[in-house]
Amino acid sequence: MSIHSSFWLATLITGLLVFLTVSIHYEILRLISELIPKLKIQARLRILVVIYGAFIAHTLEVWLFGIAYYVLGAELGFGTFHGISTNHFFDFIYFSVVVYTSVGFGDIYPLGHMRLIAGVEALTGLLMIGWSASFTYLMMEKLWLDHRQSHHKKS
């Protein structure tokens, strides 16, 4: 495969990963927003459902990219990673967490077309974390209002 065609393939794979990440995030936040009003638990506990739900979404998204790195790098030889002495699956999950959260330790870094995927994962992670933060804020605002109203009814 030529360097130009492999670049376009990396671009296509990156686009697919972004599409799947945004879809996962949207669906989980949508499910949370539908579930919250149906829960017959305290507002305090409902906010924990929001937080844990967002955490599950981020975990799935990190694993999606980690699996992609593993398959593309270790199995298909699409690119390599400097700093990984073995091609152990969990090294790729670790790398994905570091990139997604923009921690960027630098102990492992991509070479070749994996750089494109990693760069876009960092941007995607930043957007998904921001989306979760704003969603959490909106849900907390509503739940705190619900909590105050139910507290005043008891008085």
* Per-block mean pLDDT, blocks of 10 residues, the chain (155 long): 78 97 98 94 90 98 97 84 84 96 92 93 98 96 72 58
User: What is the spatial distance between Cα 153 and Cα 95, in angstroms, rounded to a whole number?
Assistant: 50
Domains and CATH numbers, the chain: 3-149 (1.10.287.70)
Contact 70, 94 (CB under 8 A): no
The whole-model pTM stands at 0.89
Give the pLDDT score at 31.
Answer: 98
Give the pLDDT score at 73.
Answer: 86
User: What is the spatial distance between Cα 155 and Cα 152, in angstroms, rounded to a whole number?
Assistant: 5
What type of residue is 105? F
Contact 122, 102 (CB under 8 A): yes
User: What is the spatial distance between Cα 71 and Cα 44, in angstroms, rounded to a whole number?
Assistant: 41
